[in-house]
């Protein structure tokens, strides 16, 4: 077998290793998936600096902290979409079940009693409803359904790229050695 084949195989193995052993990252982005309310939908994402110890603390109400590096919320009212950013929010309710032990490589929702955002102008921006993990906008109530952990995309991209090539090479080598 050629050395290029083995180089690619080693590269692929390294990528799979990186996928399964994700090191701690400084910034982690989570999608925010809310339940629908009739024809209205609410979704977004939050980026957290997980290395900041304050991101592990239990607080019922925080002025928008610096460890939240980005927040985007999109509201679809049935006909048009309005986007909101971190600057539209004054504070966050961030209440982990076990302060100091948040696992930032997993879904956040089961690890928290409450994740909510308090709008600067609650008349025009999705706002904390007062109920855990629930936001209100117009007449809709949206419950946070999940915050799936970040996907280990880095390892899968090379895998997809080279898996077919490697499969073809293996088949070609099998045919070659079968004729000898």
86 and 4 assigned to the same domain: no
* Residue 81 to residue 75: CA distance in whole angstroms: 5
Span 5-62, pLDDT tens digits? 666 667 666 655 555 444 455 788 888 889 888 888 889 999 888 888 887 776 767 8
Span 122-164, pLDDT tens digits? 777 787 777 777 888 777 788 888 777 664 444 445 555 555 6
- Between the alpha carbon of residue 105 and those of residues 17, 26, 48, 62, 145, the distances in Å are 16, 12, 12, 23, 17
48 and 16 assigned to the same domain: no
Query: Which pLDDT score is estimated for 17?
Result: 58
Q: How many CB atoms lie within 10 A of CB 159?
A: 15
* Residue 160 to residue 114: CA distance in whole angstroms: 38
Range of the domain at 109: 24-151
Q: How many CB atoms lie within 10 A of CB 13?
A: 11
57 and 125 assigned to the same domain: yes
Query: Which pLDDT score is estimated for 154?
Result: 45
38 and 16 assigned to the same domain: no
53 and 3 assigned to the same domain: no
80 and 161 assigned to the same domain: no
Query: Which pLDDT score is estimated for 157?
Result: 52
Q: What angle do CA 11, 14, 16 make, to 5 degrees?
A: 110
Its pTM stands at 0.66
22 three-class SS: coil
């Amino acid at each position: 077998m050629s050395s290029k084949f083995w180089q690619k195989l080693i590269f692929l193995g390294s990528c799979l290793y990186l996928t399964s052993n994700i090191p701690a990252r400084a910034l982690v982005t989570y999608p925010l998936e809310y339940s629908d309310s009739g024809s209205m939908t609410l979704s977004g994402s939050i980026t957290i600096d997980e290395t900041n110890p304050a991101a592990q603390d239990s607080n019922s109400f925080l002025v928008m902290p610096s460890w939240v590096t980005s927040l985007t919320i999109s509201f679809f009212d049935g006909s048009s979409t309005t986007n909101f950013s971190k600057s539209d929010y004054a504070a966050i309710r961030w209440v982990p079940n076990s302060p100091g032990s948040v696992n930032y490589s997993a879904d956040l929702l089961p690890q928290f009693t409450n994740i909510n955002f308090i709008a600067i102008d609650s008349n025009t921006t999705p706002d904390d409803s007062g109920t855990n993990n629930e936001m209100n906008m117009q007449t809709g109530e949206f419950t946070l359904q999940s915050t799936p952990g970040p996907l280990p995309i880095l390892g899968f991209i090379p895998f997809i790229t080279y898996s077919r090539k490697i499969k073809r090479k293996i088949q070609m080598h099998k045919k070659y050695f079968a004729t000898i």
